């Protein structure tokens, strides 16, 4: 046996030696050659899975995969129980029949006027929208008016997720999937407008053409949802070439990167962030020719390219195409150019010193391949890890820098340097512009500020004094004043009001009871989204009171409050809640802070509150965007 | 010193292999128990180590069977088949196990080359045993080339 074993080992070593010496040189030319993928040479995630099981499995869990799905029992999350929901006087009934899902639209006699099948779903994290086709609509998919909100477990009209004032109509947000959603919610989108020439001719003849609704589509996608190739580039050629085991051995034995596929960690910083930025960075086509190409054969950007070679990322001062509201882009940013809507994370990142002066990319914090799928952040990156990787000087004693207790949220880097001031998908999210808190500048720019986002009872003057005293070695006396959060909640523009409404209720703390009367005012805002955020904050604070054994009776009424429902119903509930607040035993509540803007009866102090509300209503340009 | 018969060698080796690879199986179960990322998050490694465990145990049992019935073959065939079988039982699980160490994302490491070599030896052992088993019954018990050499000495 000894001879057989030694002989076998010798044979194995000879084979291994041969492999390591000869195989890499066989493929050296191919692996170092520049490779440009054919734009639609897609393989599909099932092909990727054959070799990359772990990566496939980790991606499969994500909300990216389920961004768009064919409607079936597994994908549909809404409660199709036949209950009727009425918005702007029109009744809609989600029903399920024989394993299929439908929306029944009712006429004024509550009879079914049209019944639309649910064919596809869009979204699976916060809320799910539904797509249908009309009998004569061909391949055109329309977005249905109701969506299912997962967190709130309720149906709501699509208008409820936008930041728009009450003056809206039932059909305002009807959208054509082939013209809109297809681009960022799928892999390898190709809208394929089949009557483009006809539309162009009509437009040339001076006719008004609604290209979204009048186009006829033969749309295709490489894969529904955001799959492997959205981030790694079209992979059919990669799969074909790597069926050859010798090529794979060559790749393993050399430091060469496989040119047929993109690895976000192995490309330049700009190319890496471009991969996420292709969707998480609002953009416009560089020219009309590009636009026409997009709506025909889809966007030209592929992973591995520089984003700005294919698109114009939208910033505050980006020129708006002629004929469109010149403030369209400006209103999507705070006055200092920081994005205030989601899907501008790319812009925020490239505006940050961590990007321009350091090597930060999206994948420094995020990954689709491990950790918590909410936010796609690995467990290791949940805390201060990604920041301390570069800012090592703070690692030993974080609180010496943060001036907050080491185990408090004030010692989490992102709570101060990436404050929550971005509206989107019915919530408020972190800014991706990593910045140093500057309260004075924030107030001047009429935007939320990191300090007062948490210290909700404090004025901006207090925040300025704290920054100077604690971080700039210029001690200043504390400045009393009205809570900056309240100034924003009542007197800010719609996005300021929405952010303040959310920040009011970030902790279930009975100490925040003084915010309740102000939140009741915010629940009468003329922006449904702000009403929704105010209601949620009120419920959080009410939870804190309940924990402390104090029941004001407001929580039960707030739970019935439909922020986008009938105005009369809302008014009744608001009146009930105000009455409950009046009746509540205030002696059991923690005393209100100095900047609480409350009178002796715990009601919003006048005229200060009234002045702020007038300021809020007077904002000339009302933002009307932002799903 | 008495020369140990090929069948006896296989019997000894077989039970030892069953012991070793049963322990490896227990170790793999433990890795599942503690959800060790090194093992749990690498599908190909998990597959290869499972194959190492399975092949090692199975080939151990094949050796045990050979140990019980190998003496019915001709001495030369028993000697050769036993050596090939035991070597295969080392190389194949070792190839699978080492293939799961230092491997790239999609493939085993180069140590996997031990597996086909082991497989060839296994097939060789089976062929020798099969050929010998098909010989007339007296050929198995009568002196063959190897036995004659021993007798001549």
pLDDT-derived band at B127 (thresholds 50, 70, 90) equals very high
User: Does A5 lie at the interface with B, CB-CB under 8 angstroms?
Assistant: yes
Helix-then-strand count for chain A, H and E? 25, 16
CA angle A197/A200/A202 to nearest 5° reads 110
Q: What is the CA radius of gyration of chain A?
A: 28
How far apart CA A213 and CA A174 sit, in angstroms, is 10
pLDDT at B50: 96
pLDDT over 80 at A623, yes or no? no
Tokens coding B140? 């198995």
Cα gap A511→A305, rounded to integer Å: 51
Flag if A5 and B90 touch (Cβ within 8 Å): yes
Chosen from B42, B47, B107, B121 to mutate, greatest number of chain A CBs within 10 A: B107
**Contacts of residue A541, Cβ cutoff 8 Å, sequence gap at least 6:** A504, A505, A508, A509, A510, A512, A513, A515, A516, A519
d(CA B84, CA B78): 10
Q: Do B87 and A1 touch (CB under 8 A)?
A: yes
ipTM greater than cut 0.85: no
A99: β partners? none
Q: What distance in Å separates the CA atoms of residue A593 and residue A576, rounded to the nearest whole number?
A: 26
Q: What is the pLDDT, as a whole number, of residue A322?
A: 84
- Is residue B112 left, alpha or beta, with left meaning phi > 0 and alpha meaning psi from -120 to 50? alpha
Q: Does B9 touch chain A (CB under 8 A)?
A: yes
Q: Is A57 on the interface with B (CB under 8 A)?
A: yes
Give the tens place of pLDDT for each residue, A455-503.
999 999 999 999 999 999 999 887 789 999 999 999 999 999 999 999 9
In order of A116, A344, A612, B15, the CA distances from A298 in angstroms are 28, 21, 47, 64
d(CA A492, CA A614): 10
Interface probe for A, chosen from B96, B106, B121 (most Cβ of A below 10 Å), is B106
Q: Residues A318-337: what's their mean pLDDT?
A: 92
Chain B partners of A370 at a C-beta cutoff of 8 Å?
Answer: 41
Given pLDDT bands bounded at 50, 70 and 90, which one contains residue A567?
very high
Q: State the Cα angle at A447 between A445 and A453, rounded to 5°.
A: 140
Over 90: is that where the pLDDT of A540 sits? yes
A-facing residues of B in 13-42 (CB < 8 A) are 41-42
Prior bond to A607 cis, omega within 30?
A: yes
Q: Does residue A255 sit at the B interface (CB-CB below 8 Å)? A: no
Mean per-residue pLDDT of chain B? 88
Percent of chain A's residues with pLDDT above 70: 99
What is the model's pLDDT at position A17? 87
Mutation test of the interface with chain B: which of A7, A9, A10, A12, choosing the one with the most B Cβ atoms within 10 A? A12
Three-state DSSP class for residue A170? coil
Cβ A237 vs Cβ A215: under 8 Å: no
Nearest to A54 among B41, B83, B118 (CB): B41
Q: What are phi and psi of A618, to 5 degrees?
A: -85, -5
Residue A454 · residue A416 · CB < 8 Å? no
Q: If pLDDT is split at 50, 70 and 90, which confidence band does A188 have?
A: very high
| pLDDT per residue as tens digits for the range A434-456 | 999 999 999 999 999 999 999 99
Assess contact for B94 and B114: CB atoms under 8 A: yes
Q: Is the pLDDT of residue A102 over 50?
A: yes
Residues ≥6 apart with Cβ < 8 Å to B134: none
Of the partner residues B83, B107, B117, the one whose CB lies closest to the CB of residue A248: B107
Q: Looking at residue B41, what is its pLDDT?
A: 80
Q: Taking 80 as the threshold, does the pLDDT of residue A601 lie above it?
A: yes
Q: Which of B41, B86, B117 sits opposite A1 (nearest CB)?
A: B86
Over the stretch A140-186, which tens digit does the pLDDT of each residue have?
999 999 999 999 999 999 999 999 999 889 999 889 999 999 999 99
Would you call A58 exposed, middle or buried from its count of C-beta atoms within 10 A (0-12, 13-18, 19+)? middle
Q: Tell me how far the alpha carbon of residue A273 is from its chain's centroid.
A: 16
pLDDT digits (tens, 9 = 90+) for A511-527: 999 999 999 999 999 99
Write out the E strands in A59-211: 68-70, 85-87, 90-97, 100-106, 112-117, 120-122, 127-132, 142-143, 146-149, 154-157, 186-187
The pLDDT confidence band at residue B2, using thresholds 50, 70 and 90, is: low
CB B15 within 8 A of CB B65: no
* A341 neighbors A424 (Cβ within 8 angstroms): yes
What is the DSSP annotation of A8-37? HHHHHHHHHHHHHHHHHHHHHHHHHS----
Please indicate whether, in this complex, the C-beta atoms of B106 and A51 are within 8 angstroms of each other: yes
pLDDT of residue A335: 96
* A242–chain B Cβ distance below 8 A for any pair: yes
Alpha-carbon gap: A408 to the closest alpha carbon of chain B (Å): 30
Instruction: Give CA–CA dist A449/A441, Å, rounded.
Output: 9
Per this entry, what is the length of chain B? 153
Say what the pLDDT of residue B149 is.
57
Residue A39's nearest CA partner among A237, A258, A287 is: A237
pLDDT tier at B1 (50, 70, 90 boundaries)?
very low
Residue A251 contacts B, CB cutoff 8 Å: yes
The CA-to-CA distance between both ends of chain B, in Å, stands at 15
To the nearest whole Å, the CA of B105 is away from the closest chain A CA by: 7
CA–CA separation, A521 vs A501, rounded Å?
10
Tell me which of A16-25, A279-288, A427-436, A554-563 is least confident. A16-25
Give A5's contacts in chain B (Cβ within 8 Å). Answer: 87, 90-91
d(CA A378, CA A364): 10
| Residue the block writes with tokens 């800012």 | A391
- A210-240 b/e with 16+ CB inside 10 Å = b? ebeeebbbebbbbbbbbbbbbbbbbbbbbbe
Q: Can you tell me which residue has the tokens 């959208």?
A: A175
60-99 of B, contacting A, C-beta below 8 A: 82-84, 86-87, 90-91
* pLDDT tens-place string over residues B36-65: 888 888 889 999 999 999 999 999 999 999
Q: Is A131 helix (H, G, I), strand (E, B) or coil?
A: strand
What is the distance between the alpha carbons of residues A545 and A581, in angstroms, rounded to a whole number?
13
Question: H helices within A367-454, ranges in order?
Answer: 385-388, 398-402, 413-417, 439-444, 450-454
The three-state secondary structure class of A332 is helix
Res. A584: pLDDT tops 90? yes
Residue A187's beta-bridge partner residues?
A223
Closest listed residue to residue A344, CA positions, set A269, A264, A429:
A429
CA pair distance A389, B94, nearest whole angstrom: 39
Pick the more confident residue, A33 or A347: A347
Lowest-confidence segment of A561-570, B69-78, B138-147 by average pLDDT? B138-147
Residue pair A531/A523 in contact by the 8 Å Cβ criterion: yes
Buried b (16+ CB within 10 A) or exposed e, B15-39: eebbeebeebbeebeebeeeeeeeb
């Amino acid at each position: 046996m000894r001879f057989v074993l030694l002989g076998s080992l010798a044979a194995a070593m000879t084979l291994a030696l041969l492999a390591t010496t000869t195989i890499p040189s066989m493929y050296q030319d191919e692996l170092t050659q520049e490779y440009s993928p054919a734009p639609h040479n897609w393989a599909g995630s099932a092909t990727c899975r054959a070799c990359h099981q772990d990566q496939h499995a980790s991606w499969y869990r994500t909300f990216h995969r389920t961004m768009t799905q064919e409607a079936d029992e597994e994908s549909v999350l809404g409660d199709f129980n036949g209950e009727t929901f009425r918005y702007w006087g029109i009744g809609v009934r989600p029903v399920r029949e024989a394993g299929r899902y439908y929306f029944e639209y009712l006429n004024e006699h509550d009879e079914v006027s049209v019944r639309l099948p649910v064919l596809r779903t869009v979204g699976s994290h916060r809320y799910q929208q539904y797509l249908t086709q009309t009998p004569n609509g061909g391949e055109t998919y329309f977005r249905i008016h109701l969506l299912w909100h997962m967190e709130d477990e309720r149906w709501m009209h699509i208008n409820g997720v936008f930041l728009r004032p009450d003056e809206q109509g039932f059909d305002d947000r009807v959208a054509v999937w082939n013209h809109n959603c297809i681009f960022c919610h799928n892999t390898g989108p190709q809208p394929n407008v089949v009557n483009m020439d006809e539309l162009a001719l009509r437009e040339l003849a001076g006719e008004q053409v609604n290209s979204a609704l009048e186009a006829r589509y033969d749309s295709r996608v490489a894969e529904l949802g955001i799959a492997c190739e959205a981030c790694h580039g079209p992979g059919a050629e990669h799969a074909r070439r790597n069926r050859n085991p010798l090529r794979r051995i060559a790749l393993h034995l050399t430091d060469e990167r496989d040119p047929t596929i993109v690895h976000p960690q192995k490309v330049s910083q700009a190319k890496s962030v471009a991969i996420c930025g292709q969707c998480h960075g609002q953009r416009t086509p560089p020219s009309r020719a590009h636009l026409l190409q997009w709506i025909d054969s889809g966007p030209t950007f592929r992973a591995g390219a520089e984003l700005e070679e294919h698109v114009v990322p939208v910033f505050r001062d980006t020129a708006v195409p002629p004929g469109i509201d010149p403030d369209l882009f400006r209103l999507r940013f705070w006055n200092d150019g920081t994005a205030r809507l989601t899907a501008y994370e790319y812009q925020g990142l490239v505006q940050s010193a961590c990007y321009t002066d350091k090597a930060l990319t999206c994948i420094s914090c995020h990954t689709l391949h491990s950790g918590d799928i909410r936010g796609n952040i690995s467990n290791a990156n949940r805390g201060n890890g990604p920041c301390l990787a570069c800012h090592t000087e703070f690692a030993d004693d974080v609180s010496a820098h943060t001036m907050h207790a080491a185990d408090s949220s004030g010692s989490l880097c992102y709570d101060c340097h990436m404050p929550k001031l971005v509206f989107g998908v019915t919530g408020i999210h972190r800014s991706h512009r990593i910045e140093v808190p500057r309260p004075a500048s924030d107030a001047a720019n009429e935007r939320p500020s990191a300090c007062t986002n948490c210290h909700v009872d404090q004025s901006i003057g207090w925040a300025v004094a704290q920054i100077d005293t604690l971080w700039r070695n210029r001690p200043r006396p504390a400045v009393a004043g009205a809570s900056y959060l309240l100034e924003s909640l009542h007197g800010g523009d719609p996005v300021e009001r929405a952010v303040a409404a959310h920040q009011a209720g970030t902790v279930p703390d009975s100490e925040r009871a003084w915010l309740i009367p102000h939140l009741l005012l915010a629940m009468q805002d003329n922006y449904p989204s702000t009403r929704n955020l105010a209601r949620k904050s009120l419920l959080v604070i009410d939870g804190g009171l309940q924990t402390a054994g104090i029941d004001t009776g407001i929580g039960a009424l707030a739970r019935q409050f439909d922020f986008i429902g009938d105005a009369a119903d809302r008014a009744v509930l608001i009146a009930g809640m105000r009455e409950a607040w009046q009746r509540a035993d205030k002696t059991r509540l923690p005393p209100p802070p100095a900047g609480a803007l409350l009178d002796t009866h715990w009601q919003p102090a006048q005229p200060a509150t009234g002045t702020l509300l007038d300021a809020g209503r007077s904002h000339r340009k009302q933002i009307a965007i932002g799903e | 010193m008495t020369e140990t018969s090929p069948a006896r060698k296989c019997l000894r080796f077989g039970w030892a292999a069953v012991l070793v690879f049963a322990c490896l199986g227990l170790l793999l179960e433990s890795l599942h128990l503690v959800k060790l990322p090194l093992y749990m998050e690498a599908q190909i490694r998990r597959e290869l180590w499972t194959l190492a465990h399975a092949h090692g145990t199975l080939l151990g049992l094949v050796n045990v069977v050979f140990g019980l019935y190998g003496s019915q073959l001709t001495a030369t065939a028993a000697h050769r088949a036993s050596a090939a079988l035991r070597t295969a039982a080392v190389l194949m699980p070792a190839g699978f196990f080492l293939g799961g160490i230092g491997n790239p994302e999609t493939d085993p490491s180069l140590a996997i080359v031990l597996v086909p070599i082991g497989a060839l030896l296994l097939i060789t052992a089976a062929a020798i045993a099969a050929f010998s088993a098909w010989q007339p019954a007296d050929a198995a018990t009568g002196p063959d080339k190897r036995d004659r050499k021993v007798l001549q000495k």
